[in-house]
């Protein structure tokens, strides 16, 4: 890494895992996430994607924002902030949540870890300390601490992830159900393991104090050697999450607090996340607006599409007919899925046109010449890719 002190203020900071990552990032393919130097891929995006589906891989989630929310009112405060009923989260369980402005526009999504009755961890893609503090206003006993830099984290995903952890000596890990949290002694500290992930596959997330990050890495990689362990980056994550039908910030949704243009942000209903909105619980941010939206219907709906042909519909517009006379939506993410062998996409489509024909206008390039193709789209209700192993407890070895 370049060390010229004059540019120190502009340089991305290394993750606690960086000393190992830099050896493995053969292609020097780096980008930045929340100020951390962060791999796009290490060897080859497609190979790393296949590690997620065939072997196992690690993804550095240290740059994810992590907040500790503590105190007698912690639960009430979170319950007031997010749309899901936090009181229903069991001890040592994780729940996927999202939170909105008073207008019901989505600020961000993330996970809430219930670590004690009065202690929670919230993780999310981008910094939200200001919103958390604002949400804590009026609650007597709650403190919010940014622990992003105090907790290194590694996501271990793929069919051999369980076998790897077992070989690493995590006794009892076989009992972890999806969204369970477990604790293991590790070099005098505690290794927290949650059966969570962002790939739709069998997988875990490992949380450790940064001082022990390299020890964790080394033990994990020693255990995973025979199970094909491989670090993967943003590119492979993006492929796996799209197959699983998961949304990505700045792809499927524009964070409400960073949206300049009127309603260029999204609502949970538009993002097909209505199941995360619980109107039975007491008041929460955005409740009235969301209730109103639920009753009158959403303008857009995020829709899973299986598109004919093999050209990814990146940035494509969606129409009601092949002649492309009536524009009704746009593709947010698209790819050729190697596992499903289909041309898949997520698209924001005007709800009232969802039951009619859907056509995507796709542009692609072939040896510097541009071509267009209008392709028929088929709506999908289920995730493009699922596997029983993601839900089995105890999981199989591969």
Partner 1 sequence: MSDYDALVIGAGHNGLTNAAYLAKAGLNVVVLEKNDYIGGAAVSRELEKGWTYSNCSYVCSMMRQAIHRDLDLGSHGLILVPYLATINFGDGDERLIHYHDEAATHLELKRHSPHDADAMHRFQTDLSRYAMLIRKTLMRTPPDPTSFKPRDLMEFLWLAKQFWKLGEKELYEYVRFFTMSASEFLDDYFENDMIRAAMASPGIIGTALGVQSPGSSYILLHHVMGDVDGSIGAWGLARGGMGAISRAIASAAQGFGAEIRTNAGVRQVLVKDGKACGVALENGDEITANIVVSNLDAKRTFTRIMDKNDLPDGIYEKAKNFKIRGSSGKVNIALSGMPTFTHVPDNKYVNRGGQAFTGSMETMERAYDCWKRGTWSDDPFVESVIPSAWDPTVAPPGKHWMSNFVQYCPPTLADGPWTPEKRDAFGESVISKIERYSPGFRDLIVHMEVRTPHEIENEVGLTEGNIFQGELTIDQLFFNRPFPGYGQYRMPVKNMYMSGSSTHPGGGVSAVCGANSAREILMDLRKPNTVPEDDFYDE
Is residue 373 a contact residue for partner 1 (CB under 8 A)? Answer: yes
Q: How crowded is residue 15: how many other Cβ atoms within 10 Å of its Cβ?
A: 23
Task: Quickly list DSSP for 148-217.
Answer: GGG-EEEEEESTTHHHHHHHTT-TTGGGPPTTBEEEEEETTEEEEEES--SSSSSEEEEEE-GGGHHHHH
Q: How far is the CB of 230 from partner 1 (least distance, A)?
A: 9
Among 155, 160, 301, 333, binds partner 1 (CB under 8 A): 160
The answer to whether 170 and 186 have CB atoms below 8 angstroms apart is no
Is residue 385 a contact residue for partner 1 (CB under 8 A)? Answer: yes
Q: How far is the CB of 340 from partner 1 (least distance, A)?
A: 5
How far, in Å, are 176, 315, 325, 384 from residue 318 at the CA level?
42, 10, 10, 19
For strands 119-124 and 65-70, give the pairing. antiparallel
Query: Is the bond into 394 cis (omega within 30 degrees of 0)?
Result: yes
Q: For partner 1, give the closer residue by CB, 144 or 307.
A: 307
Is residue 389 a contact residue for partner 1 (CB under 8 A)? Answer: no
Is residue 340 a contact residue for partner 1 (CB under 8 A)? Answer: yes
Secondary-structure breakdown of the chain: helix, strand, coil percentages, each rounded to the nearest 5: 25, 35, 40
Is residue 339 a contact residue for partner 1 (CB under 8 A)? Answer: yes
The site map against partner 1 for 305-324 (x = CB under 8 A) is ---xxxx-------------
Which of helix, strand or coil describes residue 25?
Answer: coil
Span near partner 1 by CB under 8 A; candidates 115-123, 160-168, 201-209, 260-268: 160-168
Is residue 227 a contact residue for partner 1 (CB under 8 A)? Answer: yes
Among 12, 125, 209, 338, binds partner 1 (CB under 8 A): 338
Span near partner 1 by CB under 8 A; candidates 78-86, 135-143, 286-294, 331-339: 331-339
- Asked whether the CA dihedral 56, 248, 22, 67 is positive or negative, the reply is negative
User: Where does this chain bind partner 1 (CB under 8 A)?
Assistant: 27, 43-44, 46-47, 50, 53-55, 159-160, 163, 167, 226-228, 308-311, 336, 338-342, 371, 373, 385, 397-398
């Amino acid at each position: 890494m370049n060390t010229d002190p004059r540019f120190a203020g502009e340089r991305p900071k290394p993750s606690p895992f960086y000393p190992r990552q830099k050896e493995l990032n053969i292609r020097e393919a780096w980008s930045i996430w929340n100020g951390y130097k962060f791999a796009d891929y290490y060897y080859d995006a497609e190979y790393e994607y296949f590690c997620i589906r065939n072997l196992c891989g690690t993804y550095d989630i240290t740059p994810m924002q992590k907040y500790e929310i503590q105190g007698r009112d912690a639960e009430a405060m979170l319950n007031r902030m997010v749309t899901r009923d936090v009181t229903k989260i069991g001890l040592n369980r994780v729940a996927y949540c999202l939170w909105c402005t008073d207008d019901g526009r989505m600020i961000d999504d993330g996970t809430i870890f219930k670590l004690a009755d009065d202690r929670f961890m919230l993780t999310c893609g981008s910094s939200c300390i200001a919103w958390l503090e604002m949400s804590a206003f009026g609650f007597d006993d709650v403190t919010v601490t940014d622990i992003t830099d105090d907790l290194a984290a590694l996501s271990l995903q793929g069919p051999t992830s369980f076998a790897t952890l077992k070989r690493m000596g995590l006794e009892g890990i076989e009992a972890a159900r999806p969204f369970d949290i477990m604790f293991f002694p590790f070099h005098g500290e505690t290794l927290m393991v949650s059966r969570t992930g962002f790939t739709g596959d069998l997988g875990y997330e490992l949380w450790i104090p940064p001082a022990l990050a390299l020890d964790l890495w080394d033990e994990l990689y020693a255990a995973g050697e025979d199970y094909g362990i491989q670090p993967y980056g943003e590119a492979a994550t993006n492929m796996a999450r799209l197959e699983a039908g998961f949304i990505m910030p700045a792809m499927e949704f524009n964070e409400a607090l960073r949206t300049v243009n009127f309603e260029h942000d999204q609502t949970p209903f538009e993002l097909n996340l209505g199941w995360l909105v619980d109107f039975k619980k007491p008041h929460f941010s955005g409740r009235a607006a969301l209730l109103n939206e639920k009753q009158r219907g959403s303008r857009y709906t995020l829709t899973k599409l299986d598109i004919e042909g093999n050209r990814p519909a990146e940035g494509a517009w969606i129409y009601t007919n092949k002649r492309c006379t009536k524009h009704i939506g746009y593709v947010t993410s698209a790819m050729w899925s190697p596992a499903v062998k289909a041309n898949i996409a997520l698209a924001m489509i005007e709800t009232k046109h969802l039951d009619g024909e859907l056509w995507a206008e796709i542009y692609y390039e072939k040896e510097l010449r541009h071509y267009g193709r209008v392709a028929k789209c088929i709506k999908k209700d289920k995730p493009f890719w699922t596997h029983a192993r993601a839900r089995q407890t105890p999981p199989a070895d591969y």
